[in-house]
Structure 1
Amino acid sequence: MTGRLLVEADGGSRGNPGPAGYGAVVKDAATGETLLEEAGFIGTATNNVAEYRGLIAGLRAARRLDPGAEVLVRMDSKLVVEQMSDRWKIKHPGMRPLAAEARAVFPPGQVTYEWMPRERNKHADRLANEAMDAGQRGERWQPADSTAQFASGGEAADGAGAFSGEAADVAGAVADGASASGEVSGVAGAVADAPGAGVTTTFVLLRHGETALTPERRFSGSGGAEDPELSDKGRWQARRAAEALAARGTIEAVVCSPLARCRATAAIVADRLGLPVEVEPELREADFGAWEGLSFAEVRERHPADLAAWLASPDVRPTGGGESLTMVASRIAAAQEELTARQAGRTVLLVTHLTPVKTLVRLALGAPAEALFRMDLSAASLSVVARRPDGTMTLRLFNDTSYLRG
């Protein structure tokens, strides 16, 4: 680890659910110096969703500053602190994907959590209220316009009726179906945390068509010297997928990985749909290190201990310094959040790879990392996940290949 960072995060909702926003500040743990501020308006959501969004934003900001840092998170939401510390169960389905997103930012053990009183969390509270104010004006919060750091030295912003801190934890424990003992009130949670007004963003996930390596089930990621092109069969698969998507008529944007097999698949589909293609580098496949180009059997023969460790823990990298599954999940979750901000309310086709598609499905389900090894995903298959206005995700379709038959 290279240093110590302090993350202070907060979120609020003016109505619970109502117009909601979050704020987070990253500080040098030794000096208390402010290093980075983050804030955002998230539309209509509950206080607990906003609190988790603040946590995720703060952790991602800390990772940008120092991915190897030891991080201490302080929040006035006892619910979030206890859930993220694994002392309270997360039984409400709307909270599980958010907690999974937060846990994916840093490897396990690198982040610790501490509750603090609301009056000590004025900086993040002020940021959250600035974001809500900007959002309700139809504007976007800008760091250059923030006075949170200076205002936090005086009285905390009253939040114009925003739920925050300890008072919101009482409501939040009911809204999210959790109590101090981890018990659940499922009916209350389902009602209180139902999606509010706003727009749902739909991500249609298309795995690229076959390459020469696909039938042999070889590791083909982003770290190898070879960037394989589509095979003849892969191009045929892409054309069939294009026809199926054109028949649905719902795709409004096409975004793809920068690797050749995805760019070729996306080009065939986009040409049929009459849409441009946007390349998103974060949608690339995992870097499999020294395993690139090898079959599973070959990796097991050459690197048995490394393979066993990789299968046992999402924090282990492949031989030769590739990406761990935790690292992949972090960048994929960040890419999805960025795409949601840019494409809010639209149906977006993401042309990507095996691991990114499985990761997005796993996050939608709130499933553990080992779930990736229990999914079978075919070349040129379609899956669909939707992101609601409150940040929760749902899985609508998985591994559809019906249009490739016949």
Structure 2
Amino acid sequence: MSLRVVVEADGGSRGNPGPAGYGAVVREAATGEVLLERYASLGTTTNNVAEYTGLIAGLRAAGELNATHVDVRMDSKLVVEQMSGRWQIKNPGLRPLAAEAVRLAGRFEQVTYDWIPRERNKAADALANRAMDEAAGKPVRDVEKEMRSAPEGPGFSALAGGSAAGSSTATPKRSWAPPASTEDATRLILVRHGETAYTKDGRYSGRGDIPLSTEGEAQAMAAAGRVAGLAREVAAVVTSPLTRCTRTAEVIAAELGGADVTVLPDLIECDFGDWEGLTFGEVRERWPREMDAWLDSPSVAPPGGESFDAVAARARKAVSTVLSAYPRGVVVLVSHVSPLKLILRDALDASDGFLHRLYLDAAGVSTMDIWPDGNLAVRSVNETAHLR
């Protein structure tokens, strides 16, 4: 019998190095119910040692529960990146701790590591502080109260108003204006790929790997100029795996001085199934009832294809992946009409009717800022002045 759990872990040091402690919470992934918690003081040590110790305690607790799949959530970028194998462990004092974490992780069928904002790690943080308070003889914080106010779900929706499975229902505080500073935000520059032969003819273009047309190449270059005008330095250029997007992304990356292009499979276009390559009129003639049902509900898929609800889930996951990897800075995201519309729908907290009222031009550009606490600001939608 498989058991998927979420481990939220944290550690801290008052002085770095200084009096330190760690905390770890193990939740059932499906419900968010707390199954086990661990915390202890560590004497005098550093933040990073405390964070790694919290991770180890969380993995051991998950092992006690005979968990098979573990999703680790931490607000330590260093630990998450090093355990994911993307960063080297240069500090010799951390290597034995990392090795122990790797050994413990090897007992499970699967372990994943994700960065979350500190605001989303309140429960583990409260336990770490309780350990330090108890060791110092200070009044103990009401950890149970803080855990009740902490998010119950194991993840967080990347977009305000999003409803990804397992995400918290908590929403950011409402305000007339977004935070004045964008230093802590991730700016997403959303770019639709340039024109293809299907785009020009108004044909459903889903998983078919149609290349850019000559006009599409020119549009990609124009979009690259617009992106460069918005941000000369970017943290990453991520793209759908289909050629029309990867080529658009390559042109943008070249304009930005040779930035790396990373393929993100979840950004791929909707699978239109039997409708692939057909015009709207052709589909209406051959599948009138199926077409009406599809237009009425995002839960309905074309024959042999994929529903917009399924695409929305992928799009939210893609945005969450980007935010976890790049908690600040600028990321260019190159994709297709359907994923981009759904990202903007969620960002604007719009109804499903939005999908049929928003038009996104080939090589159109939209921008939005997302802060770690969930605040979000859409700056522009479907800019096309660069195409004229």
Question: TM-score, normalised to structure 2's length?
Answer: 0.61
CA shift for structure 1 position 165: 6.4
* SS of 2:368 mapped into structure 1: strand
**Identity percentage of aligned residues:** 37
State the one-letter code of the partner of 1:277.
Answer: V
For residue 313 of structure 1, the aligned residue among 297, 305, 323 is 297
Confirm or deny: 8 A CA contact 2:173 2:375 kept in the other structure. no
1:122 equivalenced with 2:90 (yes/no) = no
Paired with 1:314 and 1:143, the residues of 2 have a C-alpha distance of 42
Q: Give 1:36's aligned residue.
A: 4
Q: Give 1:269's aligned residue.
A: 252
State the one-letter code of the partner of 1:293.
Answer: G
Deviations 1:369-404 (A, max 9, x none): 332112111110000122211134331110001111
Count of matched residue pairs = 276
State the one-letter code of the partner of 1:228.
Answer: I
Paired with 1:140 and 1:369, the residues of 2 have a C-alpha distance of 45
Q: Give 2:374's aligned residue.
A: 391
Q: 1:328 to 1:148 in 2, by over 3 A?
A: same
Confirm or deny: 8 A CA contact 1:39 1:141 kept in the other structure. no
CA shift for structure 1 position 166: 9.6
Confirm or deny: 8 A CA contact 2:240 2:335 kept in the other structure. yes
Q: 1:197 to 1:272 in 2, by over 3 A?
A: closer
Structure having the higher Rg: 2
Q: Give 1:107's aligned residue.
A: none
Paired with 1:135 and 1:378, the residues of 2 have a C-alpha distance of 47
Q: 1:338 to 1:151 in 2, by over 3 A?
A: same
CA shift for structure 1 position 138: 5.7
Q: 1:359 to 1:197 in 2, by over 3 A?
A: closer
For residue 218 of structure 2, the aligned residue among 227, 233, 236 is 236
Confirm or deny: 8 A CA contact 1:208 1:238 kept in the other structure. yes
Q: 1:380 to 1:335 in 2, by over 3 A?
A: same
* SS of 1:199 mapped into structure 2: coil
Give structure 2 stretches of 5+ with no counterpart: 11-25, 41-46, 66-122, 131-140, 153-171
Q: 1:327 to 1:163 in 2, by over 3 A?
A: farther
Confirm or deny: 8 A CA contact 1:303 1:319 kept in the other structure. no
Q: Give 1:218's aligned residue.
A: 203
1:281 equivalenced with 2:265 (yes/no) = yes
CA shift for structure 1 position 167: 8.6
For residue 251 of structure 1, the aligned residue among 234, 254, 268 is 234
Give structure 1 stretches of 5+ with no counterpart: 1-32, 43-53, 59-72, 76-120, 173-187
Q: Give 2:344's aligned residue.
A: 361
Give the CA RMSD over aligned residues. Answer: 4.0
Q: Give 2:188's aligned residue.
A: 203
Question: TM-score, normalised to structure 1's length?
Answer: 0.59
Confirm or deny: 8 A CA contact 1:38 1:143 kept in the other structure. no
Confirm or deny: 8 A CA contact 2:7 2:59 kept in the other structure. no
* SS of 2:303 mapped into structure 1: coil
Paired with 2:61 and 2:183, the residues of 1 have a C-alpha distance of 27
Paired with 2:271 and 2:244, the residues of 1 have a C-alpha distance of 15
* SS of 1:262 mapped into structure 2: helix
Deviations 1:342-381 (A, max 9, x none): 1110200011110111111111122233321121111100
CA shift for structure 1 position 251: 2.8
CA shift for structure 1 position 252: 2.9
Paired with 1:237 and 1:403, the residues of 2 have a C-alpha distance of 9
Paired with 1:281 and 1:272, the residues of 2 have a C-alpha distance of 23
Paired with 1:286 and 1:198, the residues of 2 have a C-alpha distance of 34
* SS of 1:349 mapped into structure 2: strand
Paired with 1:394 and 1:250, the residues of 2 have a C-alpha distance of 20
Deviations 1:16-46 (A, max 9, x none): xxxxxxxxxxxxxxxxx6611124579xxxx
Confirm or deny: 8 A CA contact 2:9 2:51 kept in the other structure. no
Q: 1:273 to 1:150 in 2, by over 3 A?
A: closer
* SS of 2:310 mapped into structure 1: helix
Paired with 1:297 and 1:359, the residues of 2 have a C-alpha distance of 24
* SS of 1:218 mapped into structure 2: coil
CA shift for structure 1 position 122: 3.1
